[in-house]
Amino acid sequence: MSDDVRTRVEPPPGTIPVPRGTGAVVRGLVRAARPKQWVKNVLVLAAPAAAGVLLDPAVLLLAAAAFACFCLVASGTYLLNDALDVTADRLHPDKRLRPIADGTVPVALAQGLGLGLLAGGVALGALVGDGRLAIVLAVYVALMQGYTLVFKRLAVIELAIVSSGFVMRAIAGGVATGVAVSTWFLIVTSFASLFIVVGKRHAEHLTLGEEAIRHRPALAEYPPGFLQYVGAVSAAVAIIAYCLWSLIQVASGEVWFELSIIPFTLAILRYALLAAKGHAGAPEEVFLADRTLQVLGVLWAACYAAGVHAG
């Protein structure tokens, strides 16, 4: 065979891949930072939006800063987690193609950049508002690292930790902008987050089969029907809490809040349907792809905004 004829051979699972060029490393770092996941950080807008102050330029700037902080710490967390799990990922049929697992990004580089992003995000948070955002970010980082090292193997606890990541984003928005987070807001956000995480786990069970347990050991602890039960309970609590809160607002004359119950409940049921079919393995992709959910989201936002500004 002539020297100019080259054949690319995929390394067998479990072997240490050959490092790539600088351009490939940079592209790999971008992929490993998972910018698609940043859509979750939009939750930092929830508290100021619920208070009706999001359009204030100063508030919007603080919320944008909180969004940027969470993008930094979230990407740093992904890099550190993938670096820690690199050996197991190289044995996984899909995860072995991740930039760190396939050798595109050196493990040491991923660890260094990951730590830098975490430190940078928390440091930036200390400059936002009164600095309390840095505390929220530090707690989020501690929870996520605890999840990677210990909690992901503990049934039920792992559900609570992952769902807490969504709640921490919502709290961060309130802390950064100086908006008080109500008890009703926390209840709805917490149980809606748990509902979404349980839907993700159920979808993994359906689509990955036996591979799901190797992919996520805690799933072996969940007997048939358990995840559906937890999903039903969390959805019920979220809907009831939202209804009670909306009816309190109606008592003060804002009927738009009462109307917002309809799209909110339908959105919960729509997501439950997608999860039952195994289509909720990646929640952020579900919300970006499902037109019905998007329409319901717009209708809910319109009703809620009308209630806020009518008051």
Q: What is the structure's pLDDT at 307?
A: 84
Q: Does 264 have pLDDT greater than 90?
A: yes
Domain boundaries defined on the chain: 22-153, 182-311
CA distance 274 to 241: 23
Q: What is the structure's pLDDT at 20?
A: 58
**CATH architecture for residues 22-153:** Orthogonal Bundle (1.10)
CA distance 35 to 50: 26
Q: What is the structure's pLDDT at 208?
A: 67
Show the CA angle centred on residue 30, arms to residues 144 and 77, nearest 5°.
10
Torsion of CA 247, 252, 253, 257, to 10 degrees: -40
For 97-144, what is each residue's pLDDT tens digit? Answer: 788 888 888 889 989 999 999 999 999 999 998 889 999 999 999 999
Question: Residue 71 contacts by C-beta under 8 Å, 6 or more apart in sequence?
Answer: 35, 38, 41, 121
Q: What are the tokens at 293?
A: 């959910």
Provide the strand spans (E) within 39-129. none
For 172-219, what is each residue's pLDDT tens digit? Answer: 999 999 998 889 999 999 999 999 999 888 887 777 666 666 667 788
Q: Does 88 have pLDDT greater than 80?
A: no
Nearest to 42 by CA among 67, 62, 22, 21: 67
Q: What are the tokens at 157?
A: 């606890």
Q: Does 3 have pLDDT greater than 70?
A: no
Residue pair 201/178 in contact by the 8 Å Cβ criterion: no
Q: What is the structure's pLDDT at 176?
A: 94
CA distances from 100 to 82, 120, 211, 217 (A): 7, 22, 21, 22
Q: What is the DSSP string of 214-255?
A: HH-GGGGG--TTHHHHHHHHHHHHHHHHHHHHHHHHHHTT-H
Residue type, 133: L
**Range with top average pLDDT, 9-18, 205-214, 216-225, 237-246:** 237-246
Q: What is the structure's pLDDT at 4?
A: 43
Q: What is the mean pLDDT of residues 263-272?
A: 95
For 39-49, what is each residue's pLDDT tens digit? Answer: 889 999 999 98
Residue pair 286/280 in contact by the 8 Å Cβ criterion: yes
Q: Who wins on pLDDT, 310 or 5?
A: 310
Q: Does 77 have pLDDT greater than 60?
A: yes
CA distance 306 to 223: 44
Q: What are the tokens at 74?
A: 């979230």
Helix H or strand E encompassing 112: helix 107-125
